[in-house]
Amino acid sequence: MKKSGFLNDKKIELAIRNAPRHEFVPSSLIEKTYDDSPIQIMKNQTISQPSVVSRMTEWLDVKEGQKILEIGSGSGWQTAILAYLVGHGIVYSIERHAELAEFAKKNLDKLGIHNVKVISGDGSFGFPEESPFDRIIITAACKKIPDSLLEQLSINGLLIAPVGGYPQSMILLKKH
């Protein structure tokens, strides 16, 4: 990823190293772990390709102590990276598939990551009871960014999401 220009931040590189992708991939697909491609996990969902995770995380500009909302926990890999970056902050991660939410929780627990709350539910509504959020990341493509998420973003907060059909456009918004 560094050679291709997708990983330029040393803090993010360290976070990725502290959250080894093989810990978040089903054992039957372990040989594909370090390919730069998405991997099918369960419920027709994927663990995103490393270059996309790296780029989205860099653009999100996560800081120590922040409160992050992640829409789409998946296997928990992106969640773990965010958790390392916020340090004493917290990541709220919403996953619409209960089975995947449990998979993510188990993966995070086995690495001893405790500054994350994985919630089973519809992420398009966000998590208003804990808003505002310093950063919001939508990990799966959406047709448009839900207004409810923009409302839950703090002033000067950043939101990143892949928007559209195929191919998607990566949208980064800053709330003023």
Determine the Cα–Cα distance for residues 64 and 89; give it in Å rounded to an integer. 6
Question: Burial, 62: exposed, middle or buried (Cβ in 10 Å; 0-12, 13-18, 19+)?
Answer: buried
Helices assigned H by DSSP within the chain: 10-18, 50-60, 77-86, 98-110, 147-151
Count Cβ neighbours within 10 Å for each residue of 20-54 and write b for 16 or more, e otherwise. Answer: ebeebbeeeeeebeeeeebbebeeebebbbbebbb
Helix 50-60 with 77-86: angle, nearest 10 deg? 30
Give the residue numbers annotated as catalytic, written as ranges.
48
Q: Tokens 């810990």 appear where?
A: 23
